[in-house]
Amino acid sequence: MRQRYRMLKHWIPAFAGMTILLIIMGIAHAQDEKTVPVTRDQITFSYAPVVKKVAPAVVNIYTQTRVQVTENLSPFANDPFFQQFMGQRGLTVPGRTREQVISSLGSGVIIKSDGMIVTSHHVIKDAQQIKIVLADRREFDAKLIMKDPGSDLAFLKIDATDLPYLDMRDSDTLEVGDLVLAIGNPFGVGQTVTSGIVSALARTAAGVSDYQFFIQTDAAINPGNSGGALVDMQGHLIGINTAIYSKSGGSVGIGFAIPANMVRSLLGSKVEGGRIVHPWLGFSVQPVTPQMAESTGLKNASGALVTQLVPGAPAEKSGLKAGDIILTVNGTAINIMQDLPYRLALVHIGETAKVGIWRDGKNQDIGMEMVAPPETPKRDQRVLKGNQPLTALTVANLSPALAAELGMDDNLTGVVVVAGSSNIAGIGTAVVPGDIILEINGTKITSAAQLEKIMNNGAHDWKIVYQHGPNTLTLTVRM
């Protein structure tokens, strides 16, 4: 027995030493052959394998835009003393106009090997020249294939093949706390990688896009990152970085990305004139309050309450009624009102969405056909002329199709200004594109032809009521 114990005592240290050696060799081997980390332990070592996989598919975008700039020739224009007593308008004098070239930068992501690139629409908006620089420093001129200002996405194409690209993940499978990497070109310093987590899902970011449904992350996103990639730990594209919340202009850990599912949906959407066409349904909604939920028998204050329907629109034809609460679209819950436009935007024109509603204390399903916004009434575009306050404005009859083109609520009606601006002496610019003319001298305006006739009646006193954004304004002018 003692002899056996002495033998074990002799071998245990040797065995332990061999075990440690094998562990060290295993670690060294793992470091020599880096792969995309899968387990939590592997992730703690390095993000380098993920970056190596995805970085070649992230590009830098450089744009140039030519604009006409009027130089102010007043010698007192920048004098605070004269500004205080005369105002900026009083110091404005006719100046010369010159062309100025504005350069900007951003990022993009290759999503197909044939050179298809997705980026943020605001990165390339109004650009006359778009240049793409790949990770290997090759440069290409890019062509704008299609754009969607409403979602702040645009698709570019370069003349290249066999390019590295990123596969898109189903962004609905993301969970708060998932690790993510943001890759882009912040401040033009070159490709940069930052890490973080998914901080929240289905977040709103007012003014960024019409679809208030974003992935929120604390991965640092700065100017120049727009259009860049947000990826998961397997190197899949989960979002396009588009905006930050910041009072200083720098990252404070609140960044927003457009979900990859929106990118995928737009690729299969209808396109007219390079612009992506979204379905038109013809109804309005508002949030569901706890009081509404209690009064209708709902357990939670979720969903979107239908308030108005356009007669003859797809929503009305489907059987939807004012007072219905929309709870799901194609089986996905509508937790807050802002979820609804996003979920409907993922359904293509020609398809039928299964919409779950709460009506009379019961769950019901209805089928809602997705149709393109119609141009009804016809736009009948006209240029106003003569000695009157709205001269040189181009106006048209507002339809769902025209409203979609102008980025307006597609349920609005009336006569809209589509070009020009009314520069009235002593008032300055008053009526601008996007404004809706409501009344002229007490007469309700219903068509562009009617407006043109009224403005040509030779009146000297004018009272113009128009809608500017959410505000109704009145302009009184004597000619």
DSSP 378-417: ----EE--SSSTTTT-EEEEE-HHHHHHHTS-TT--EEEE
Shortest CA distance to 420 belongs to which of 442, 446, 389? 389
**Which pLDDT band holds residue 81 (cuts at 50, 70, 90)?**
very low
Geometric angle at alpha carbon 442, from 437 and 448, rounded to 5°: 35
Higher pLDDT among residues 445 and 460, named by residue = 445
Torsion angle of the four alpha carbons 60, 65, 71, 77, in this order, in degrees rounded to the nearest 10 = -40
**pLDDT of amino acid 84:** 42
Adjacent-strand bridge partners of 184 = 192
**Which pLDDT band holds residue 105 (cuts at 50, 70, 90)?**
confident
Least confident of 88-97, 182-191, 203-212: 88-97
- At the topology level of CATH, where does 382-478 sit? Pdz3 Domain (2.30.42)
Only one residue has tokens 């601006």, namely 421
CB 465 within 8 A of CB 474: yes
**pLDDT of amino acid 285:** 94
**pLDDT of amino acid 425:** 60
Q: What percent of the chain has pLDDT over 90?
A: 58
CATH 3.40.50.360 fits 55-157, yes or no: no
**Which pLDDT band holds residue 101 (cuts at 50, 70, 90)?**
confident
Taking the C-alpha atoms of residue 447 and residue 434, their distance in angstroms, rounded to an integer, is 16
Tell me the longest C-alpha to C-alpha distance in the chain: 124
Higher pLDDT among residues 27 and 139, named by residue = 139
DSSP 280: B
Residues with Cβ within 8 Å of residue 336, at least 6 apart in sequence? 202, 287, 302, 304
Residue 230 main-chain phi, psi, to 5 deg: -110, 120
Active-site choice (148, 151, 152, 399)? 152
Taking the C-alpha atoms of residue 389 and residue 245, their distance in angstroms, rounded to an integer, is 41
**pLDDT of amino acid 247:** 55
Taking the C-alpha atoms of residue 43 and residue 233, their distance in angstroms, rounded to an integer, is 8
**Which pLDDT band holds residue 189 (cuts at 50, 70, 90)?**
confident
Kindly report the number of other CB atoms within 10 A of residue 127's CB atom: 20
- pTM here is 0.77
Taking the C-alpha atoms of residue 153 and residue 119, their distance in angstroms, rounded to an integer, is 6
Only one residue has tokens 């409501």, namely 438
Least confident of 28-37, 59-68, 318-327: 28-37
**pLDDT of amino acid 36:** 65
Active-site choice (104, 107, 120, 122)? 122
The residue-averaged pLDDT of 146-160 equals: 93
**pLDDT of amino acid 58:** 95
Query: pLDDT tens across 168-183, in order?
Result: 999 999 999 999 999 9
**Which pLDDT band holds residue 365 (cuts at 50, 70, 90)?**
very high
Q: Is 433 exposed, middle or buried (0-12, 13-18, 19+ CB in 10 A)?
A: middle
Residue 461 known to be catalytic:
no
CB 224 within 8 A of CB 187: yes
**Which pLDDT band holds residue 23 (cuts at 50, 70, 90)?**
very low
Mean pLDDT of the chain: 83
Residue 171 known to be catalytic:
no
Domain residue limits, the chain: 55-157, 171-275, 279-369, 382-478
Query: pLDDT tens across 294-312, in order?
Result: 999 999 999 999 999 999 9
CATH 2.40.10.10 fits 171-275, yes or no: yes
User: Are 55-157 and 171-275 in the same CATH fold?
Assistant: yes
Active-site choice (171, 226, 318, 422)? 226
Shortest CA distance to 91 belongs to which of 107, 74, 108? 74
Higher pLDDT among residues 8 and 418, named by residue = 418
**pLDDT of amino acid 33:** 52
Query: pLDDT tens across 262-290, in order?
Result: 999 999 888 888 889 999 999 999 999 99
The residue-averaged pLDDT of 206-225 equals: 78
Taking the C-alpha atoms of residue 376 and residue 374, their distance in angstroms, rounded to an integer, is 6
Q: What percent of the chain has pLDDT over 70?
A: 80
Only one residue has tokens 């004012």, namely 322
Adjacent-strand bridge partners of 443 = 440
Shortest CA distance to 262 belongs to which of 330, 298, 215? 215
Taking the C-alpha atoms of residue 98 and residue 379, their distance in angstroms, rounded to an integer, is 34
Whether residue 87 has pLDDT greater than 50: no
| DSSP characters over 319-342 | T--TT-EEEEETTEE--STTHHHH
Least confident of 201-205, 280-284, 336-340, 389-393: 201-205
The residue-averaged pLDDT of 17-21 equals: 38
Higher pLDDT among residues 366 and 35, named by residue = 366
**pLDDT of amino acid 12:** 39
Determine the CATH number of domain 279-369: 2.30.42.10
Least confident of 146-155, 226-235, 271-280, 422-431: 422-431
Least confident of 2-11, 193-202, 415-424: 2-11
Which residue pairs from 259-262 have beta carbons closer than 8 angstroms and sit at least 24 positions apart in sequence?
259/171, 259/172, 259/213, 259/214, 259/215, 260/168, 260/169, 260/170, 260/171, 260/236, 261/168, 261/170, 261/171, 261/172, 261/346, 262/151, 262/153, 262/211, 262/213, 262/342, 262/345, 262/346
Least confident of 78-87, 119-128, 229-238, 325-334: 78-87
The residue-averaged pLDDT of 222-236 equals: 90
Residue 358 token pair:
């709460």
Residue 152 known to be catalytic:
yes
Residue 388 token pair:
């009157």
| DSSP characters over 156-195 | EE-S--S----PBP-GGG--TT-EEEEEE-GGGS--EEEE
